[in-house]
Amino acid sequence: MDETTNAAVLDGYASGLLAIGQAEDGGEALANELFAIGRAFDGSDELRDAITNPQIPVERKQNLLSQVLTGRASSMSIALVNMLVSAGKARDITDIGRLMIEKAALSQELTVAEVRSAIELDPETVSRLEAKLSSATGKRIKANVIVDPSVVGGLVAKVGDTVFDGSVSSRLQELREAWA
C-alpha cells in the first residue's frame, strides 16, 4: 500500500472511531485515550512486537491487551484497540489517535498543539499553556500533551510549523553558543 493510500485508510479509521466516540458522548476522551495507548505500545518493544507479530493468533493478542489495559483504559477503548489489532492496524494506533484528536479539535475550530513535557501536566497547567499558545499564535488551541523524558525539563510545543522550545536542553545549548 502506498503512503497516500495508507494515509487515507488511517484517516478513515480515525473518522469512524471518532464518530463512535461522539455517539457515546466521549469522542475527544476516546481520541486522547487511544493516542495514549498507542504511545504506551510505542514505548514497549516487547508489547508492540507481541501485538504486531503475524505469527501470534489474534485471540492471544486480544487476551494480552485485555490483561494490560483492563483498569487502565475504558471498555470502549479496549474494544476499539482490539478491533484495530484484529484489522492489522496495531502499528497505527498512535497515528489514528493523533488523527482523531486533530479531527475532534477541528470540529470545535481548535488547532492542536503537540506539547512535549518531561512530566505529566495537571489540567490547570494545560489550560494556562493553551491560553499562552492561543495568545502567541492567534488561534484557539487544544494541547495534546506527550510525556517525553528526553525533554529533561521545560516544554516543547509545536503548533503547525511553529515550534516553541522552552526546554532545559535548548536553554543550555543557547548558553553554550553564547559562550563559544
Neighbours of 70 (CB within 10 A): 10
Is the pTM higher than 0.85? The answer reads: no
For 43, counting Cβ atoms within 10 Å of its Cβ (0-12 exposed, 13-18 middle, 19+ buried), the class is: exposed
List the domain boundaries for the chain.
3-101, 110-179
* Per-residue confidence (pLDDT) for residue 84, from 0 to 100: 92
* Per-residue confidence (pLDDT) for residue 36, from 0 to 100: 87
* Per-residue confidence (pLDDT) for residue 130, from 0 to 100: 93
For 165, counting Cβ atoms within 10 Å of its Cβ (0-12 exposed, 13-18 middle, 19+ buried), the class is: middle
Neighbours of 132 (CB within 10 A): 14
Mean pLDDT by 10-residue block, N- to C-terminus, for the chain (180 residues)? 84 90 80 86 88 92 91 90 91 89 84 90 93 92 88 89 87 83
* Per-residue confidence (pLDDT) for residue 117, from 0 to 100: 92
CATH no. of 3-101: 1.10.520
Dmax over Cα atoms in the chain, in whole Å? Answer: 59
For 85, counting Cβ atoms within 10 Å of its Cβ (0-12 exposed, 13-18 middle, 19+ buried), the class is: buried
